[in-house]
Structure 1
Amino acid sequence: MLPRRAALLAMSGSMAGASAAKAQSPDHFHRIQWAAFRNRFMAPEGRIIDTGNDHVSHTEGQGWAMLAAVRADDRASFEKLHRWTNRTLRRQGDELFAWRFRPGAARPVDDPNNATDGDLFIAWALLEAGRRWGRADCTTQGTAMARDILRLLCAQAGPFTVLLPGSQGFQRTDHTVVNPSYYAFPAIRALAMALPDPAWLRLAADGVALLRASRFGRWGLPPDWLTIRHADGALALPGDWAPRFSYDAVRVPLYLAWVGLADEPALIGPADFWSDRQHRHMPAWTDLTNDGISPYAASPGITEVARLTRALRERSRWLADRPVGALDMPNYYSAALSLLAGLAAWDSGMA
C-alpha cells in the first residue's frame, strides 16, 4: 500500500465519523479509567503532574487529559484543565503552548518552545469539546491552533514534508530532527476535518513514508528520534539522544493502531518485538545499534499498548483484563499510555 493510500485510510471520514459518534456515548470502562487517572494525577487547579519526572507538567499531559475528560463527559475537569493550560502555558504571538511547567522554579515556564504532540492533542480536545458541549470558543481556539500547526510546524526536509517537534531548534544546517512519535494520526485527522487543507494529506502521507523508511535494529523498529539529511533525505539515528526504541517511540504503534493501520511495518515491528519469545520479560526498550534490551520489564502502560497492537494484528477485540487500580498506575506516563490505549481501542472498534 502506498503511503498516500495509507494516509487516506488514516484520515478517512468514515472512521472519523465513527469516532465522533462514539465520543458521544463513552463506555463504562473509559469513565472508570479516566476517574482513576484524574484522581491520582490531576491537581485541583487542573495541572497534570508527571510523577516520574520531578512533578513537572507538560502539554502532552494536558492534551491527553483534556481529550479523556471530553470522552468521559467530565466537563468540570475539562474546564479546569483548559483554564490552567491557557493561563499558564499559552504563548504570545501564536496559538501554540509552551511545552513545560516546573513547579517551584524561579521561572516555572522557562522555555517558550512548544511540543507539537501536546499541541495536536490540545487542539483535538478543544474541537471535540466544542462539538459535545456547544462551546464555540473551544471550536475557534482548536481551529486557530490547527492553522498555526500547519503554519509553524510543517517543513520540508529532503523529500519529506515533516512535522517539526517544536517551532525552534530542530532545523539544523544540514539536517532536520524529527520525533516519529509526534505523528499522532488520529489528532491530525481531527484537525484536517476542522480546517480542510491539502497540506494535512501531504503531512500524513509523508509521515507514513517516513515511518516505513526509518526502521532500525533486529526487529525493524522506529526510533525515539531521527535525523533527515537535507541533501539527499538520508535517515539516521541522531547523536543527541540515545539510539533507542523506547518511551517516545512506543507511541508510534499506538497511533497507527488508533487509526486502524494494522499492516504498517512501524506497527508490525513493535508487535513482533514485544512478543518475541526469546525475551525473559517484555522489554521497556531496545538499543537500535546493538539490539540490547532493558534489564527491567516494561510498565503496565507499555504492556497495554502491546496488547492493543497484538489485538489489531489478530483482528480480535481489546478488552480490559482487570479493574483499574493503583498497580496499573505506577507513574503518570504508564497510566497515560493505558488511558490512551483504551481510547484507541474504542475509536478503532476493538473495544
Structure 2
Amino acid sequence: MAPDPIADKNNASDGDTLIAWALLRAQKQWQDKRYAIASDAITAALLKSTVVTFAGRQVMLPGVKGFNLNDRLNLNPSYFIFPAWRAFAERTHLTAWRTLQSDGQALLGQMGWGKSHLPSDWVALRADGKMLPAKEWPPRMSFDAIRIPLYLSWADPHSALLAPWKAWMQSYPRLQTPAWINVSTNEVAPWYMAGGLLAVRDLTLGEPQEAPQIDDKDDYYSASLKLLVWLAKQDQR
C-alpha cells in the first residue's frame, strides 16, 4: 500500500450535503430513525466545520481546508443545494440553514458576468462583499455551475434567479447549446450540451421530461445529472 493512500483528505461539502439529504429522505421513506440520526451527525459537522460568516453573509465553504484565503473566500455556487438546506431547516429548526438559503440566494443574485450574466464555476467573495470569478480556475460557466439551475429549479421552478439561465439557454437551439461559456470573454465551447447537461437545460426551461434513459454514452457525471433531474421533477409534482 502507498504510504499515503488518501492524498486528498479534504471533504467536499456538496457530497456531504447530498449524503445527509439522502439519509433524511430514506428515513421518511422507510421510517427508520437510524437514517435520520446519521443525517443529523453529518449536518452538524457541516455547520461546525464548513459554514462561516464572511462579508456579512453566511456561506458554506466547498471544503474544510483551502478555501478561506483571509482576504477572500473561494466559493463554488453549485454547492448551494437549496432543497437540501430547506429539508435540513425543517428537520432541525436551526436558523443557520434558513440563513444559508437566504444569503446564498442573495449572493447568487449578484453573481453574473459577461453578456450571459451567468456565474462562473468558482467565485471569489472578497471581504468588502464584491465578487468576481476566482482566479485559480478558468472563468467559465461549465460542468460545475450547470448544477446551479438544477438546485434552483428543484427548490422553486419559478425562482427569479433562473432568469439569466433561461435567457441564455433559450438563445440557442436545444441541440446546439454550448457546453460552457467563458463569462469574461463570452467565448463558448466548440461542442454542445448532451446527456445530463441537456437534462438540466430542459428542467430549467420547464420542458417535458421523460424517465431518464442512461446508456453507454453517459459517463458517471452525465448519468448522475439525469437522475438528479428526475428526482427534482418527482419532488415538483
Under a length normalisation based on structure 2, what TM-score does the superposition of the two structures give? 0.93
Please give the alpha-carbon distance, in whole angstroms, between the structure 2 residues aligned to 1:207 and 1:185: 8
Q: 1:339 to 1:106 in 2, by over 3 A?
A: farther
Between 1:268-277 and 1:117-126, the stretch displaced more is 268-277
Count of matched residue positions in the alignment of Structure 1 and Structure 2 = 237
For residue 178 of structure 2, what is the aligned residue in structure 1?
283
Give 1:280 shift.
8.2
Structure 2 Cα separation of the partners of residues 280 and 260 of structure 1: 25
User: Identity of paired residues, percent?
Assistant: 35
Q: Report if the CA contact (8 A) 2:202-2:209 is conserved.
A: no
Alpha-carbon distance in 1 for matches of 2:45, 2:55? 22
Partner of 1:343 in structure 2?
231
CA apart distance, 1:131: 2.6
Q: How does 1:147-186 map to 2 (within 5 A)?
A: 147-186=44-83
C-alpha deviation, 1:318, in angstroms: 3.0
Give distance in 2, aligned partners of 1:220 and 1:127: 35
1:324 maps to: 213
Corresponding position of 1:226: 123
For 1:256, the equivalent position in structure 2 comes to 152
Structure 1 residue ranges, 4+ long, deviating more than 3 angstroms after superposition: 104-108, 277-280
5+ long unaligned stretches in structure 1: 1-103, 312-316
Name the CA distance, whole Å, in 1 between partners of 2:114 and 2:3: 43
C-alpha deviation, 1:221, in angstroms: 0.5
Structure number with greater CO (CA < 8 Å, separation at least 6) is: 1
Matched, 1:240 2:129: no
Q: Secondary structure at the match of 1:326?
A: coil
Instruction: Summarize deviations over 1:43-97 as a string: whole Å, max 9, x none.
Output: xxxxxxxxxxxxxxxxxxxxxxxxxxxxxxxxxxxxxxxxxxxxxxxxxxxxxxx
Secondary structure of the residue that 1:199 maps to in structure 2?
helix
**Runs of 5+ consecutive residues of structure 2 not aligned to the other structure:** none
**Cα–Cα, structure 1 residues 275 and 133, in superposed 2: closer, same or farther, change >3 Å?**
same
Q: Distance in 1 between matches of 2:172 and 2:133?
A: 27
1:190, CA displacement in angstroms? 1.4
**TM-score of the superposed pair, with normalisation by structure 1:** 0.64
User: Counterpart of 2:92?
Assistant: 195
CA RMSD of aligned residues (A): 2.0
Indicate how the Cα distance of structure 1 residues 339 and 280 shifts in structure 2: closer, same or farther if over 3 A, else same: closer
Cα contact 2:175–2:194 (8 A) shared by 1: no
Whole-angstrom distance in 1 between the partners of 2:166 and 2:172: 12
- Check whether the contact 2:157–2:204 (CA below 8 A) recurs between aligned residues: no
Alignment correspondent of 2:192: 297
Query: 1:107 Cα deviation (Å)?
Result: 4.2
Change in CA separation of 1:175 and 1:339 when aligned onto 2, cut-off 3 Å: same
In structure 2, relative to structure 1, the CA distance for the partners of 1:300 and 1:105 (3 Å cut) is farther
Secondary structure at the counterpart of residue 164 of structure 2: helix
Q: Deviations over 1:186-227 (max 9, x none)?
A: 111111122111111111100000000011111111210111
Q: In 1, distance between residues paired with 2:74 and 2:212?
A: 40
Q: Contact between 1:147 and 1:195, CA under 8 Å: does it hold in 2?
A: no
